[in-house]
Structure 1
Amino acid sequence: MNGIHPFRVLRAKPLWIANGVITGALALLFTVFYVGANIDPAGHMKELPVGLVNADKGAAVGGKQVNLGARITESIKKSTAGGDKIDWKVMNQKEMKEELGKGKLFGALVVPADFTSATTALTGTAPAGTPARPTLTVLTNQSAGSIGSSLARTATTTAAENASLQLGRQLTAQTGAQQTKLPAAARILLADPAAVTVKDGHPLDSHSGLGLTAFYYALTLVVVGMLSANVISGQVDHALGYTHNDMGPLRLHRPLIRASRVQTLAISSTLMAGLSLLMGTLVLAGAVGIMGMDAPHLPLLWLYSVCAIAVTGIGALTLLAVFGTPGMLVVTLVFIGMAVPTAGATTPLDALPGFYRFLAEFEPLRQITGGIRSILYYDAQGDAGLTRGWVMMAAGLVAAALFGFGVLGWYDRRGLHRIPAETTPEKTAVPA
């Protein structure tokens, strides 16, 4: 006992300064990553992919073949109203359905097959019959992300409405004096001929969280792997006798078993890989069996879940081993702080500032989310994100192994052991 009261440590300036710098940096970084990424998605939106389909078969008008659908799509493509915010992908209906079914489009605008005939019927130049207002269909795709689908819906609806007004001005100018012969209702429709309807382009099952279950499931895998790494790291250190283990009021301590840093990481990683089988099974059982999440391809989802937890956990163990105590802060920033805003599950990558798009290229959560989305929503198609998910997880595992064992091997060779080897006193000869 030195007689110093424990609360006197609060007078130490280094204690306040060190903790102030660390906690302040965390607060600032999390604010920048979370709030900064999502503060203005519409303003940062650039080249959001949206399908543009002209299925119009055209009609003969005044002895000439006319295709008003082609006019509509051409005017939308050339329109400067959206600037470079929308990347219009001109395609046919089959291609559009395939791209929506892979999450590569956030929406689509479809001109129906009877658009020209329905429009010209309003002018009275088509065969006799009851005119039906032509329709432009806006398709949404919540499976690609709710915010992205909403942005695409707003931009596409505006483009369709503007195109309808422009077409109305052209038709009004063409009919000229014939307008006086048209009923009042027809003249009103002629000014804005096309009705815009909104439909779901890639419907999801009711228990799909409006397209967010993939993100939350992937986030669960990452968090489970990250937190498990912290637990396993501590328990391995306790088993080797390097640290105490406080269990409530009890303090347990085991005899020291000397292990190199490389050996310790190998033990921790082996434990993580084995326990990932249990954790992946329980995550799947909890999400599907208990909570009722819609999930096809259960064997594949289980395998992917196990691998995602294992890779995330081994990556976190590597950072903990290399950086020591500050490692948990690094792990939190890499797997949570920088990952959630760049996952592309809520706000699309096309609506993020450039810095966040760069982070998204290698952030683990984005890669894992893409694979889960493919399994849950897109029939496990490889080019819908599943192939990229597998490849990036494999690359992440290799990178973690090279970085972790490489740095720790260097620590060991330099003699930077966690507990210095005890020196044996030299024996001295005693004179006779």
Structure 2
Amino acid sequence: MSGIHPVRVLRAKPLWIANGVITGVLALLFAVFYVGANIDPAGHVRKLPVGLVNADEGAAVGGERVNLGARITESIKKSTAGGDTIDWQVMGEKEMREKLGQGKLYGALVVPADFTSSVTALTGATTTGTPDRPTLTVLTNQSAGGLGSGLARTATTQAAENASLQVGKELTAQTGARQEKLPAAARVLLADPAAVTVEDGHPLDARSGLGMTAFYYALTLVVVGMLSANVISGQVDHALGYTHNDMGPLRLHRPLIRATRVQTLAISSTLMAGLSLLMGSLVMVGAVGVMGMDAPHLPLLWLFSVCAIAVAGIGALTLLAVFGTPGMLVVTLVFIGMAVPTSGATTPVEALPGFFRFLAEFEPLRQITGGIRSILYYDAQGDAGLTRGWVMMAVGLLVAVLFGFGVLGWYDRKGLHRIPAETAPEKAATPA
């Protein structure tokens, strides 16, 4: 024994420097990832997909066929021709409904079938009649994310109002002196002929968290996999006799069972894969059975949940095995720090700065969120994110296996064992 009081270690500068650097970098990175990704989503919006539907059938005016809906849609596209904030996608109403139901649109603007006939009726209103104002409909899509739907709603509503004013100027100029014969109410409406209403384009069930249950469910799967990896890694090390296991005031220790790093990761990964069946089941029981979350396709949701936990857990085990003690910090950054801001659930990917959009292409939480969102909100359609979720989980698992076993195999070949042979206690051991 050295006879030095334990408190004196606080005088050691390396202890302060090492921990200060690690915790300081961690604090800085979390601030950059969390705040930086969400500080100005409106300013970073690029190519936010919004549908533009002209269902107007037109009308005969003065012997000519007129379609004011086409003018509206053309005016909207021209007004944003110089920018790339909104990606106006002109399509039919059926296609628009399908894309809303796949989460591929954050909203839509619909010009109704009777738009031209309703507008031109204003110019022929009687002095006693009350003119009916035609309506442009803005459709939102909360299932694609509340913030993204809100950004689309704001841009679409503003575009519809500006287009209405533009059409009003054209109609006013065409009417000319005939305006004097119109009632005052008709003249006012003629200057701004279209009313704008907002409707939910893809309604969700009441217990869907306003489109956020998919994100929180996916986050639960990732966190459960990540934390379970930390637990399993420690318990396997204890079972092999490499570490002590403190249980309150008790310290438990097992005889050493020599295992290569590759063998240790194989044992941990097998345990994670098996226990994922239990964890995935209990996550679904807690969310659906206990809390009452709306969830169709329960067998598919269970299977996806189990696989997501297994992939996240094995990925975390790989990082813990390769990086050792700093591995938990790397795991936290990969699965939480960089993942939450790039998941596309709180802030749409189209509203993220470029670096975060790059991360979103492979960050696990975004892929898992897309798959869960498809199962919960979009009838488990492959094009709605489910196919991408399965493919990216398979790719992630393959990368984790190749990286983990490849690096650890190299460690073993180089003789970089966890306990060098000359210092290991020579004690026969059998597994408990």
TM-score, length of structure 1 as denominator length:
0.96
Give, in angstroms, the shift of residue 80 of structure 1.
3.4
Match of 1:377 in 2: 377
Query: Does residue 80 of structure 1 match 2:80?
Result: yes
SS in 2 for 1:266: helix
Q: Which amino acid aligns with 2:203?
A: P
Match of 1:144 in 2: 144
Give, in angstroms, the shift of residue 82 of structure 1.
8.0
What is the distance in 2 between the residues matched to 1:423 and 1:145?
A: 56
Query: Does residue 216 of structure 1 match 2:216?
Result: yes
What is the distance in 2 between the residues matched to 1:310 and 1:81?
A: 46
Query: Does residue 274 of structure 1 match 2:280?
Result: no
Match of 2:166 in 1: 166
Residues 259-278 of structure 1 deviation map (CA, whole Å, 9 limit, x = unaligned): 00000000000000000000
Give, in angstroms, the shift of residue 346 of structure 1.
1.2
Q: Which amino acid aligns with 2:73?
A: T
What is the distance in 2 between the residues matched to 1:129 and 1:200?
A: 32
Query: Does residue 12 of structure 1 match 2:12?
Result: yes
Q: Which amino acid aligns with 2:54?
A: N
SS in 2 for 1:389: helix
Query: Does residue 318 of structure 1 match 2:318?
Result: yes
Q: Which amino acid aligns with 2:49?
A: P
**1:239/1:371 CA distance change after superposition, 3 Å:** same
**1:282/1:131 CA distance change after superposition, 3 Å:** same
TM-score, length of structure 2 as denominator length:
0.96
| Superposition CA RMSD, Å | 1.4
Match of 1:91 in 2: 91
- Do 1:61 and 1:125's aligned partners in 2 also have CA atoms closer than 8 Å? no
What is the distance in 2 between the residues matched to 1:255 and 1:7?
A: 31
SS in 2 for 1:340: coil
Query: Does residue 131 of structure 1 match 2:131?
Result: yes
Moved over 4 A (4+): none
Give, in angstroms, the shift of residue 302 of structure 1.
0.1
Q: Which amino acid aligns with 1:312?
A: A
Residues 153-177 of structure 1 deviation map (CA, whole Å, 9 limit, x = unaligned): 0000000000000010100000000
In the alignment, structure 1 segments of 5+ residues that lack a partner are 425-432
Q: Which amino acid aligns with 2:46?
A: K
Identity over the aligned pairs, expressed in percent? 87
Query: Does residue 404 of structure 1 match 2:404?
Result: yes
**1:36/1:332 CA distance change after superposition, 3 Å:** same
Deviates more, 1:349-358 or 1:78-87: 78-87
Residues 216-250 of structure 1 deviation map (CA, whole Å, 9 limit, x = unaligned): 00000000000000000000000000000000000
SS in 1 for 2:178: helix
What is the distance in 2 between the residues matched to 1:80 and 1:331?
A: 42
Match of 1:386 in 2: 386
Q: Which amino acid aligns with 1:286?
A: G
**1:225/1:423 CA distance change after superposition, 3 Å:** closer
Counterparts of 1:232-247 in structure 2, within 5 Å, are 232-247=232-247
Match of 2:427 in 1: none
Match of 2:348 in 1: 348
Residues 379-423 of structure 1 deviation map (CA, whole Å, 9 limit, x = unaligned): 000010000000000000000000000000000011110011138
In the alignment, structure 2 segments of 5+ residues that lack a partner are 425-432
Q: Which amino acid aligns with 1:145?
A: G
Residues 161-218 of structure 1 deviation map (CA, whole Å, 9 limit, x = unaligned): 0000001010000000000000001101011000000000000000000000000000
Query: Does residue 365 of structure 1 match 2:362?
Result: no
Aligned length: 423
What is the distance in 2 between the residues matched to 1:422 and 1:331?
A: 32
Q: Which amino acid aligns with 2:74?
A: E
Q: Which amino acid aligns with 1:402?
A: L
What is the distance in 2 between the residues matched to 1:9 and 1:423?
A: 26
Q: Which amino acid aligns with 1:143?
A: S
Q: Which amino acid aligns with 1:416?
A: L
SS in 2 for 1:132: coil
Match of 2:227 in 1: 227
SS in 2 for 1:343: coil
SS in 1 for 2:193: coil
